[in-house]
Amino acid sequence: MSRPIGFVGLLVLSLLSGCGGGTESSVSDTMEPAQAAQVFAETLQKIEAQRGALSKSLPQTLEAEALQAVRCNDPETVEGFSRAVRREITQYCHNAEDIVRNAGLTVSQFNEMMQKAKLESNNSDEEFRELFEEEWLRLDT
């Protein structure tokens, strides 16, 4: 499953971004950075497996740009797809949310960690990103 870290989670981020919200506590309030990086890497690997299964099950004619516009919290973003594709994307969203919650995180906390791990994010956190990358590589071997 070795992939460049920048690629991993592209569909994960585009499908989960914007989900959740509210006034939940920040990950930094509830976990040490190393623990958060470990939980995030393990969670992201499980979601990546789901994303891979989704990609294989969708028709090859779908363009990546169309999928990148999908948001789990916005049903209008799947309106242009066939009923079967919408059903698969919706199931993926539910599965991804379940994976996040089973890891003891809220979707907002997961999204916060995603932003911290991204190189190009205004909210990136170098220490967290390095811890995450180390954990990702450890899990990937």
pLDDT for 18: 53
pLDDT for 95: 93
- The angle at the Cα of 117, spanning 58 to 8, to the nearest 5 degrees, equals 25
The number of beta carbons lying within 10 Å of the beta carbon of residue 131 is 22
pLDDT for 57: 84
Burial-class residue 83 by CB neighbours within 10 Å (0-12, 13-18, 19+).
Answer: exposed
pLDDT for 141: 78
The answer to whether residues 43 and 99 touch, using CB atoms and an 8 Å cutoff, is yes
Q: Average pLDDT by consecutive 10-residue portion of the chain (141 residues)? A: 45 55 64 93 92 82 77 85 90 92 92 84 86 92 78
pLDDT for 33: 92
Burial-class residue 133 by CB neighbours within 10 Å (0-12, 13-18, 19+).
Answer: middle
| Interatomic CA distance for residues 35 and 85, integer angstroms | 36
Structure tokens at 100: 């996040």
pLDDT for 54: 85
Tell me, yes or no, if the pTM score tops 0.85.
no
The answer to whether residues 22 and 112 touch, using CB atoms and an 8 Å cutoff, is no
